[in-house]
Structure 1
Amino acid sequence: MAIKIQTQNGEIKVENDVIASVVGGATIANPGVVGMASRAALRDGVNQILNRENYGRGVVISQTDAGVIVDVYIVVQYGMKLADISSSVQRKVKYYLDSYLGIHVPEVNVIVQGIETKD
């Protein structure tokens, strides 16, 4: 499903894979975020950290009248404050989507799927 943006010159369709790539880039740019996790952790493997080509498996995008709602699944570094990491991810995802794609995002939900410890 593509997100449709109406402009004065016509309609723009942005595919979910493009949005997921932007969201993934914004997410992993945050200190304390080890990587993206799959939203189906039990099926795809709990410990699997997604690479750039698979960001779509760690991002859920839905379109509402208020704008685009984004759910982001992440793995964080042990010892970091989850509230600080989550707030940073939310701000950065909103900023990236607004500045790069012109998409209004009223809500970014951050779901921590795992914590990576140093062995």
Structure 2
Amino acid sequence: MECKVKNEYGTIYIAEDVMLKVVGYAALECYGIVAMSGQRATDGIVEWLGRENLTKGVQIRNVGDMLDVDLYIIVEYGISISEVCKTIIETVRYKLESTTGVKVRKISISVEGIRI
């Protein structure tokens, strides 16, 4: 899936991998997040993913001309999960919209684990 951005100069096509990396790096910049997490649906085992595989903890879907973003994260123990998620939502929305020009409709966060 690639995203199209139209402006007065023409059409820009942005690869899905680029958008996934923008979201992943923006999320990892936020205080309180330890890692991205991928979940295998077949056995429910949660994998911890470092910076090299951070796109596996992110899913995006086109909804019309906007995006829905799903994040799977692991947070640090002792930090307010709701505040971490609020910060991630604000940061990811800003970075994705300012970097790619694509509007974000919704960001959903699934906290898959906590690191002690």
Instruction: Please give the TM-score of this superposition, normalised by the length of structure 2.
Output: 0.89
Aligned length: 116
CA contact (8 A) 1:33 1:77 kept: yes
Structure 1 outlier segments of 4+, above 4 Å? 41-45
CA contact (8 A) 2:68 2:104 kept: yes
Shift of 1:55: 2.0
Please state whether the residue corresponding to 2:104 is helix, strand or coil. coil
Between the aligned residues of both structures, percent identity stands at 33
SS in 2 for 1:73: strand
Task: Give the 3 Å change call, closer, same or farther, for CA 13–66 of structure 1 in structure 2.
Answer: closer
Instruction: Answer yes or no: is the 8 Å Cα contact 2:5–2:11 preserved in 1.
Output: yes
Identify, as 1 or 2, the structure richer in strand: 2
Report the equivalent of 2:115: 116
1:41–1:51: structure 2 CA closer, same or farther, 3 Å change rule?
A: farther
Deviations 1:49-91 (A, max 9, x none): 2123322211110011251110011000111111101100000
**Partner AA of 1:40 in structure 2:** R
CA RMSD of aligned residues (A): 1.8
Matches within 5 A, 1:53-64: 53-64=52-63
Q: Is the 8 A contact 1:16 1:56 kept in 2?
A: no
Consecutive unaligned residues of structure 1, counting only runs of 5 or more, are none
Structure 2 match to 1:2: 2
Q: 1:2 to 1:44 in 2, by over 3 A?
A: farther
